[in-house]
């Protein structure tokens, strides 16, 4: 697994690598996490494929 250094105060989103779509909280609000670990936990708890979905840092 590749180690990533996250920027300070970054927020994390989950993105579909095939379609480019983000996971949304509501129709107009993208679901954001305060850490990469939280986003990865969401992926595993919801049974999303790590081959398709990945985390993305935003500032």
Rounded CA-CA distance 12/39 in Å is: 7
Averaged pLDDT score across all residues of the chain:
93
Q: What is d(CA 2, CA 26) in angstroms, rounded to the nearest whole number?
A: 31
Does the pLDDT of residue 5 top 60, yes or no? yes
Statement: residue 51 has pLDDT above 90:
yes
Q: In whole angstroms, what is the distance from residue 7 CA to residue 24 CA?
A: 23
The pTM is what?
0.86
């Amino acid at each position: 697994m590749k180690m990533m250094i996250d920027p300070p105060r970054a927020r994390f989103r989950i993105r579909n690598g095939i379609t480019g779509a983000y996971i949304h909280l509501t129709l107009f609000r993208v679901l954001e996490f305060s850490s990469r670990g939280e986003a990865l936990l969401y992926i595993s708890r919801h049974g999303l494929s790590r081959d398709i979905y990945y985390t993305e840092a935003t500032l």
